[in-house]
Structure 1
């Protein structure tokens, strides 16, 4: 966003992300039609959290790049970014995957979320929010392609098995499957 624009809205998003309560929302879903500024807002918030060393990952589903559009690359990329952000997380992730070559090759979003994100995060002692920005979730494929990704996210969020300080800022067009799952 241009400096001085959308400050109130960005402040409200940051308030949601920074809410320390255990029952605070873990997901901030920003929806709107194409061209409404969702990505600009997400990138501005990501930049703010990066400056505070609180940005764990930022992932953009991009229809012009097949690799970033495929849901099978999503959680492994986030895990890699979280490893770069936190050496303790990196150690925990390595313990999960070191003897499991087939796991490292998995493209299953359900398996990846469990093994690459949830399990390594179980024993982390991180204070304050860690933000993961997911831009253009609606571009992760058609409803069928993104179904397992949405299912994995929805299940983990509703079961509260993600770390309480992990926050997701997700942008998407208001597709019915995304709205129903998140």
Structure 2
């Protein structure tokens, strides 16, 4: 977002992500789906600034060392449009952000079949790679939340 714009929305999302407060809906296009699932959905018409908000929130969370991954589907980047790249890329981002997860991923790779290791099916990748990494993160003693930002699902 341009400096000074959408500050209420960005602040509300970052505060919610940090765990500081329940998200008050400052704009009608923010929907917290289920607070127990800790998921926020930003929706709106094309060109309404959703990606700008997501990028600004991602930057703010990165500054707070809480951004586990930022993935944006982009019409100008064909690789990003391939759904089979989503969870594998997020898994790589998590291991880069949290190097202590590397042995967890190595164990996952060692324990799973070649078929699962080489699968391009997003559901298999989610179950095989990402969920175990997220479970390891949630079991860690870190007091901070880890946030995954996925932008432009409609691309």
TM-score (norm 2): 0.80
2:59 maps to 1:76: no
2: CA distance between counterparts of 1:6 and 1:25?
A: 25
Structure 1 match to 2:64: 52
- 1:58-97 alignment, distance < 5 Å: 58-97=70-109
How many angstroms does 1:88 deviate by?
A: 2.0
**3-state DSSP of counterpart to 1:138:** coil
Higher relative CO (Cα under 8 Å, sequence separation at least 6) belongs to 1
Cα deviations by residue, 1:94-118 (Å, 9 ceiling, x for unpaired): 1101354333321111111111111
Pairing partner for 2:143 from 123, 127, 140: 127
Aligned length: 138
* Structure 2: gaps of 5 or more residues: 23-34
- The question of whether the paired residues in 2 share the 8 Å contact of 1:82 and 1:90 is answered with no
2: CA distance between counterparts of 1:54 and 1:82?
A: 11
Cα deviations by residue, 1:109-128 (Å, 9 ceiling, x for unpaired): 11111111112332330321
**3-state DSSP of counterpart to 1:134:** strand
Structure 1 match to 2:117: 104
Cα root mean square deviation, aligned: 1.9
- 1:1-12 alignment, distance < 5 Å: 1-12=1-12
